[in-house]
Amino acid sequence: METPSFFRLFLRLPYHWGLLLLGLLAGPARAQFSTTPAASQFVSNAPGNQFGVQAVADGAGGSFVVWIDKRNGNNSGLGTGIYAQHLNAAGVPLLAANGKRLFQTGSRDIFGMKVVPWQYGYLVAWVQGAFGVGGDTVRCQFYSANGDQQWSIPTVVAYRTLPTVIYESEQGLNIVPTSTGATITHALALNGGSARFTFNKIGPTGVLSYPNNDRQVVVSPNSIFASDYYHTVSDGADGFYMVASAGGFSSPIYAQHFSAAGAATWANYTTISAGGASGRGSDWQPLIDPAGNLYVAWTSNGGDPLVSKVLPSGALGWAGAGYVALSTDPAYQTNPYAIWHNNALWMIWEDARGGSGSFDYKCYAQKIDAAGALAWDPNGVPVYSLSAAYPRPKLAPSDNGSVMAFYSTDTNAANFRAQKILPTGSLAFAAPGVILHSVADNRPYELDYVPVGQPNGSVQVYWSSPGAAPTGRDIVAGRMQNSGTLLSSERAAEALGFVVYPNPAATELKLQFPAADRPTGLHLYDGQGRLVRAFADAAMPLSLRGLPVGLYVLRATMDGQEVSRRVVVE
């Protein structure tokens, strides 16, 4: 016997009951994303400091958010913990208020943490050790979507062995998911100060592949000093790339590939930069494209935004120096952030051109394709052209091949803004960008924030605040719609006066809207999200003839914003 669908059951209800249910479905949920910049939505504002926020999409329009938490003692007491929250697509928290505790160290500190989606939940790795001393163990645990641990105890990935290994370090801490589990990378320090890159593999049940500290790698291609800073990224299969440099400015940058078996596959390290003016300036970032090519994005010691491509064979992918400058402007550029999106690498950075002195930056961006060709002006395109002390920009994917940029502006970095960058390099929102959040005490602290792109083109952002009394540093959330508004498309429709009637309707649907804001791009979708009708902008009324009875959504654009209305066809 066939089970009746929700829509059939809905349509069997008495008329007024159906309208009541429809109203409940359309009604506001509790604790949703804020619709005004002046209101902060706290993921956690428990006492003590919460920081080191990480967030990943849950695949259903929401996000898993995980952070380091000192509510139970700041360098004392029960020690540092790890807490999490799961927010749905509307921003409603699904776990306990102020987050669910995942782990409590017990009189110890956490020096670094990494989170990745894994096996329909998420895998968390962290470095812990005595307060003020440094890491002595690297641990990981697998959690379900509701924050329940899936292994009886965390797996100890690595532990120090005095007097030889004096620290297990958070440098290079990363989780690389594989088809058989994951690879966890990090660093360690030997007695005497020598640094090593190291890693281990973990299976679905928490079992490790190698003995403790077994895979140690000395990164010293020129036999001078070992590189002691590392970043890793998946190769798109079961191996990974490692990109290393020393801590000092102008240091060389090197890359190596490791196979699924844990062996280095290139006979020699690939030199990304030989150092000097093109050497390390601010931090560097490894990325891959769908073909498994490695890209390394950084700003040099000379203040230029640079990108290098490395083929899976280890050969440099572009001729000449092996890297391309994303801006030829002589001004100083720093703090880059890059993503691979829509068949290109996009990078944004802080830019001092036209500034009045130190710490007076704007934001510029550039796009480069796999062949090394720049898409826009050789100097980059301005994203934010006013002055800001610390914009700290980042990017996230949006809709129709575009990306969303986020940055802090104005006095005390009080206004946290968003700007949509189109594939052409044009900006979708009016300058200087849409304000997402404007409460100075609860603004993002430096780079401690994560933008999470969602399938509908909206971007959710999670951040740690600077630490105003009485609660200290908090975890805060916001959402920017692809249209440049904080409102949901239903609320935007209400605010703009977009009304559909009659509703329910049988053969046609009429629209009511302000004369100056005629809706465009009218599309009707069924209950499964499939497009069933596309209407001409001048169409009035909208024909519903031939449509099955059921619940539909009419979407349109008004005043540059996406709006929608639920429609019942009877």
In a 3-state reduction of DSSP, which class is residue 567? strand
- Could you read off the pLDDT of 209-222 as tens digits, one per residue? 999 999 999 998 87
pLDDT category at 338 given cuts 50, 70, 90 is very high
Confidence of residue 389 (pLDDT cuts 50, 70, 90): confident
Tens-digit pLDDT profile for residues 480-526: 998 888 876 666 677 677 889 999 999 999 998 887 778 888 888 77
Is the pLDDT at 23 greater than 50, yes or no? no
Q: How far is 312 from 235, CA to CA, in rounded Å?
A: 8
Cα–Cα distance measured from residue 450 to residue 459, given in angstroms and rounded to the nearest whole number: 10
- Tell me, what DSSP letter sits at residue 505? B
Contacts with 566 (C-beta within 8 Å, 6 or more apart), sequence order:
22, 25, 26, 490, 503, 551, 552, 553, 554
- For residue 349, with 0-12 CB atoms within 10 Å meaning exposed, 13-18 middle and 19 or more buried, which class applies? buried
Q: What is the mean pLDDT of residues 189-210?
A: 94
pLDDT exceeds 50 at position 4 = no
Backbone angles phi and psi of 22, in degrees to 5: -60, -40
Q: How confident is the model at residue 151 (pLDDT cuts 50, 70, 90)?
A: very high
**Alpha carbons 366 and 373: distance in angstroms, whole number:** 11
CA-based nearest residue to 498, from 483, 523, 482, 515:
515
DSSP one-letter string for 17-62: HHHHHHHHHHSPPTT---SSTTS-EEEE--SS-EEEEEEEE-SSS-
Overall average pLDDT of the 393-407 stretch: 97
Q: What homologous superfamily does CATH list for 490-569?
A: Immunoglobulins (2.60.40.10)
* Total-model pTM: 0.83
Q: How far apart are CA 282 and CA 294, in angstroms?
A: 19
Q: Do residues 196 and 178 make contact, with C-beta atoms less than 8 angstroms apart?
A: no
| Contact residues for 89 (Cβ-Cβ < 8 A; gap 6+) | 60, 61, 62, 454
Structure confidence at residue 560 as a pLDDT band (50, 70, 90): low
Given a contact cutoff of 8 angstroms between Cβ atoms, the answer to whether 396 and 451 are in contact is yes
- b/e burial code for range 241-252 (CB count within 10 A of at least 16 → b): bbbbbbeeebbb
Cα dist from 533 to 11, 523, 540, 542, 547, whole Å: 21, 6, 14, 10, 9
User: CA triplet 261, 253, 51: central angle to 5 degrees?
Assistant: 80
The pLDDT value given to residue 17: 37
Q: Is the pLDDT of residue 445 over 90?
A: yes
Q: What average pLDDT does the segment 3-12 reach?
A: 41
The residue-averaged pLDDT of 35-60 equals: 94
Which of 270, 339, 329, 326 has the alpha carbon at shortest distance from 299?
Answer: 326
DSSP annotation of 314 reads: S
Would you state the structure tokens that stand for residue 319, as one six-digit string? 């001729």
Residue linked to tokens 């791009």: 521
The answer to whether 255 and 272 are in contact (CB under 8 A) is yes
Confidence of residue 387 (pLDDT cuts 50, 70, 90): confident
Give the model's pLDDT for residue 358.
65
Give the number of C-alpha atoms closer than 13 A to the C-alpha of residue 338, restricted to the C-beta side: 29
- Mean local confidence (pLDDT), 88-98: 94
Q: What is the mean pLDDT of the chain?
A: 89
| Spatial CB neighbours of 492, under 8 Å, sequence gap ≥ 6 | 481, 483, 485, 558, 561, 562, 563
How far apart CA 423 and CA 412 sit, in angstroms, is 32
The model's pLDDT over 230-260, given as tens digits with 9 standing for 90+, comes to 999 999 999 999 999 987 889 999 999 999 9
Residue among 276, 317, 277 at smallest CA distance from 296: 317
pLDDT at 12 over 60: no
**SS3 label, residue 396:** strand
Q: How far apart are CA 85 and CA 146, in angstroms?
A: 8
Per-residue 3-state assignment (H helix, E strand, C coil) for 318-353? CCCCCEEECCCCCCCEEEEEEEEECCEEEEEEEECC
Radius of gyration (C-alpha) of the chain in whole angstroms: 26
Strand-pair partners of 558: 561
Question: Residue 390 corresponds to which tokens in the numbers above?
Answer: 């610390």
Calculate mean pLDDT across residues 187-202: 93
Peptide bond just before 290 cis, omega within 30 deg: no
Contact yes or no for 336/305 (Cβ under 8 A): yes
CB 253 within 8 A of CB 222: no
Residue 99 CB partners (closer than 8 Å, separation 6+): 43, 44, 46, 65, 67, 69, 83, 84, 85, 475
